[in-house]
Amino acid sequence: MLRLENVAMRYGTGPEVLTEVNLSLGRGDFFFVMGPSGAGKTSLLRVLGLIAPTSRGRVLMFDRDVRSLDRQELAALRRRIGIVFQDFRLLDHLSSFDNVALPLRIHGGQDDQIRDFVIEMLTWLGLEDLVDSDPTTLSMGQRQMVAIARAVVTRPNLLLCDEPTSNIDGRLARRLMHLFSQLSKLGTSVVISTHNDELVARHPHPVLHMSRGRLASPLPGPASLAAAG
């Protein structure tokens, strides 16, 4: 489904923040990415999410070489990816409901189906009383949950999460991990960047370790991936 071949990435004219990254990710694979701050975890997610271009190497996604795609084709691929970054990127002029509904509307969903999906998702995450609330009135944890709901509501082919449990309590973290695991079983490939050793210990998925922009080999696990660096 996705493969990185000798990928490097830099911001502007700065030094490389990713170097010689090789990674293969199959349908339904689930793994964690760990490493110290500045190791390149977020940059890796940006490359996987087709947000940041590479400075060299190849990105193959859904059997397409990303370098050969035009703007519309790239946009179509991005619609198959759900992303949650630490700044959430919610639209403050929209309610919680409309933030979560946005990707469904982009996909051309029917209004009655959209409402059912969004209400079900927000209720499952304990946000049923905040459907009409603006993001500016929500706590950090609530904003994070709305961002996660928006990322998963379309059941994307690829889900990327940067520290998804950093602002929520243990009970909600367990519920989120159950949600991510269920999506993986349904075929969504899941990549979670985290510093949370306890979270990783509770869930037996392969772990990729990053250091200074390089990706180390994963611990043994079921995901069909390979890494080098």
Stretch 94-117: mean pLDDT: 92
pLDDT at residue number 216: 80
Stretch 68-90: mean pLDDT: 91
Q: Write the CB contacts of 211 (distance below 8 Å, at least 6 apart in sequence).
A: 35, 36, 39
pLDDT at residue number 172: 84
- Quick check: 93 pLDDT over 50? yes
pLDDT at residue number 224: 39
Stretch 66-70: mean pLDDT: 92
Between 28 and 107, whose confidence is greater?
A: 28
pLDDT band of residue 217 (cuts 50, 70, 90) is low
pLDDT at residue number 227: 37
pLDDT band of residue 126 (cuts 50, 70, 90) is confident
Contact 48, 61 (CB under 8 A): no
Cα 190 to Cα 158: distance, rounded to the nearest angstrom: 6
Q: What angle do CA 2, 189, 203 make, to 5 degrees?
A: 130
- Quick check: 218 pLDDT over 80? no
| Percent of the chain residues topping a pLDDT of 70 | 94
Stretch 217-229: mean pLDDT: 41
Pairing of strands 189-193, 30-34: parallel
pLDDT at residue number 189: 96
pLDDT at residue number 223: 39
- Quick check: 226 pLDDT over 60? no
Q: In Å, how far are 33, 84, 183, 204 from 163, measured between CA atoms?
A: 10, 9, 18, 17
Stretch 35-63: mean pLDDT: 93
Mean pLDDT of the chain: 89
Stretch 57-80: mean pLDDT: 92
- Quick check: 60 pLDDT over 70? yes
Q: What angle do CA 173, 175, 177 make, to 5 degrees?
A: 70
- Quick check: 82 pLDDT over 90? yes
Between 160 and 112, whose confidence is greater?
A: 160
pLDDT band of residue 225 (cuts 50, 70, 90) is very low
Q: What angle do CA 135, 137, 138 make, to 5 degrees?
A: 70
Domains assigned to the chain = 2-80+156-228 (3.40.50.300), 91-154 (no CATH)
